[in-house]
């Protein structure tokens, strides 16, 4: 597939962009959010539910699937789409990030990375070539290069070395490709140095990948550090290629990313917090265990068009969580994912209509971010303390 065919930019609204990914498993309107199904399942949901909730593309993880069930089993069954019975598009992460974050022992050199399984401690080896061959066996519509991500606070020498290794590995991944029906994205590194980020974006752009991920952000740094770097990195990438901000999924962060020119997002956050009982509403994230919800005979969000709000009361959802019932996890997951799907639909509509700035302003005016909620609660406590 040529890069031109893989992505079509339809409209820009300042830095925000509306476009379309073209895959063998359907067209995917952008900006898009990918629900995370690391182990070939978006936790608690069937493929039919993922689709009905408004998603045409999901993320799976090479590291997890390599360890369990094993790449060979999925290859022999004709690939990941058939294995997980998902007819939509799939993006696979190469597994590099998981090797670094989940493996108890991990040694990296120019050749590749040796790591221990977080499941049984067995030793394994990934190279750029193997990462591509595994992802081609999975048959992912979008594959990611193997890269080296550095932590916030890493020294410049280390960041520079990791960036150069990421570049070399990106070239090796390109050369290792055997299937041209699958898109391979590069990953920009360069830590928190604007100069290195710029250099990384330029170098990788010269290799003409069909898409680019912005890696190495949201690794513990303050948001005030993230956003200017994100804007600069996105601006350094070619306009005609999709831009993917890895691991970002809070509503306010998606909006901030779109405003800075990002097209693709993924994150386990909406589904993970759902299982903890934190549900999105247009006013912010709320905790289903709040006492007043026990008797509320109305949907959690009367304006929500999700399956949960359409069929069940807040009181029932509250009961399911308090009683540790498995249905609670499903219903909360459906709600949060539908919230995100609808947010993406509305963002795209606004961009196409040239009103993204107004949409963003309206959304953020009513949506209290979690940080703000915590800050306001803290301030309230402090004020009450003064009165006492």
Which positions are annotated as active-site residues?
93, 266
| Pair 224, 183: CB distance under 8 Å | no
Single out the residue of 36, 59, 60, 84 in contact with a second copy (rule: CB under 8 A).
Answer: 84
Q: Does 195 bind a second copy (CB under 8 A)?
A: no
What are the CA-CA distances from residue 274 to residues 15, 44, 289, 319 (Å)? 31, 11, 12, 15
Q: Does 83 bind a second copy (CB under 8 A)?
A: yes
Closest to 237 in 3D by CA, of 285, 284, 203: 203
Residues in binding contact with a second copy, number by CB under 8 A: 36
Single out the residue of 8, 51, 177, 322 in contact with a second copy (rule: CB under 8 A).
Answer: 322
Q: Does 4 bind a second copy (CB under 8 A)?
A: no
Taking the complex as a whole, the smallest distance from the CB of residue 318 to a second copy amounts, in Å, to 8
In degrees and rounded to multiples of 5, residue 354 shows phi and psi of 70, 25
Per-residue string for binding with a second copy, 288-317, x by CB under 8 A? ------xx-x-------------xxx-xx-
Nearer to a second copy, 325 or 372 (CB): 325
Q: Does 376 bind a second copy (CB under 8 A)?
A: no
Taking the complex as a whole, the smallest distance from the CB of residue 78 to a second copy amounts, in Å, to 8
What's the CA gap between 64 and 98, in Å, rounded?
A: 8
Single out the residue of 165, 241, 330, 360 in contact with a second copy (rule: CB under 8 A).
Answer: 330
Taking the complex as a whole, the smallest distance from the CB of residue 295 to a second copy amounts, in Å, to 6
Sheet holding 264-267, edge to edge: 32-35, 264-267, 243-245, 211-214, 183-188, 142-144, 89-93, 57-61
Per-residue string for binding with a second copy, 50-69, x by CB under 8 A? --------------x---xx
Single out the residue of 4, 76, 181, 195 in contact with a second copy (rule: CB under 8 A).
Answer: 76
Taking the complex as a whole, the smallest distance from the CB of residue 74 to a second copy amounts, in Å, to 9
Q: Are strands 243-245 and 211-214 parallel, antiparallel or unpaired?
A: parallel
Nearer to a second copy, 50 or 188 (CB): 50
Single out the residue of 32, 36, 45, 163 in contact with a second copy (rule: CB under 8 A).
Answer: 45
Q: Does 3 bind a second copy (CB under 8 A)?
A: no
Q: Does 117 bind a second copy (CB under 8 A)?
A: no
What's the CA gap between 148 and 131, in Å, rounded?
A: 13
Single out the residue of 10, 14, 46, 156 in contact with a second copy (rule: CB under 8 A).
Answer: 46
Taking the complex as a whole, the smallest distance from the CB of residue 331 to a second copy amounts, in Å, to 8
Q: Does 377 bind a second copy (CB under 8 A)?
A: no
Q: Does 357 bind a second copy (CB under 8 A)?
A: no
Contacting positions for a second copy (CB under 8 A): 39-41, 43-48, 64, 68-69, 73, 76-77, 83-85, 294-295, 297, 311-313, 315-316, 318-320, 322-323, 325-327, 329-330
């Amino acid at each position: 597939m040529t890069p031109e065919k893989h992505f079509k930019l339809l409209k820009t609204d300042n830095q925000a962009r509306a476009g379309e990914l073209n895959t063998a498993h359907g067209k995917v309107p952008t900006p898009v959010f990918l629900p995370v199904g690391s182990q070939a399942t978006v936790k608690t949901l069937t493929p039919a539910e993922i689709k009905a909730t408004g998603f045409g593309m999901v993320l799976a993880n090479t590291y997890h699937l390599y360890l369990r069930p094993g790449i060979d089993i999925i290859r022999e069954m004709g690939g990941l789409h058939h294995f997980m019975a998902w007819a939509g598009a799939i993006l696979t992460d190469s597994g590099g990030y998981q090797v670094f974050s989940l493996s108890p022992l991990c040694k990296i050199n120019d050749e590749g990375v040796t790591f221990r399984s977080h499941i049984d401690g067995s030793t394994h080896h990934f190279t750029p070539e193997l990462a591509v061959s595994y992802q081609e066996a999975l048959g992912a519509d979008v594959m990611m290069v193997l890269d080296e991500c550095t932590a916030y606070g890493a020294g410049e020498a280390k960041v520079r070395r990791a960036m150069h290794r990421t570049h070399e590995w990106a070239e090796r991944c390109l050369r290792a490709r055997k299937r041209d029906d699958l898109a391979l994205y590069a990953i920009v590194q360069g830590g928190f140095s604007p100069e290195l980020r710029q250099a990384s974006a330029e170098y990788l752009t010269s290799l003409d990948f069909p898409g680019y991920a912005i890696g190495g952000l949201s690794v513990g740094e303050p948001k005030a550090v993230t956003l200017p770097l994100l804007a600069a990195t996105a601006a350094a990438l070619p306009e005609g290629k999709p831009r993917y901000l890895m691991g970002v999924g809070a509503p306010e962060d998606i909006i901030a990313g779109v405003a800075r020119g990002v097209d693709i997002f993924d994150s386990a956050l909406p589904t993970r917090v759902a299982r903890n009982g934190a549900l999105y509403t247009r006013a912010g994230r709320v905790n289903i265990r709040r006492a007043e919800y026990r008797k509320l005979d109305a949907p959690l969000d009367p304006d929500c068009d999700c399956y949960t709000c359409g069929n069940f009361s807040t009181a029932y959802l509250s009961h399911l969580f308090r009683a540790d019932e498995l249905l609670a996890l499903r219903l909360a997951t459906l709600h949060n994912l539908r919230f995100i799907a609808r947010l993406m639909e509305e963002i795209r509509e606004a961009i196409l209509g040239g009103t993204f700035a107004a949409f963003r302003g309206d959304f953020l005016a009513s949506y209290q971010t979690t940080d703000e909620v915590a800050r306001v609660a803290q301030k309230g406590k402090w004020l009450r303390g003064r009165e006492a």
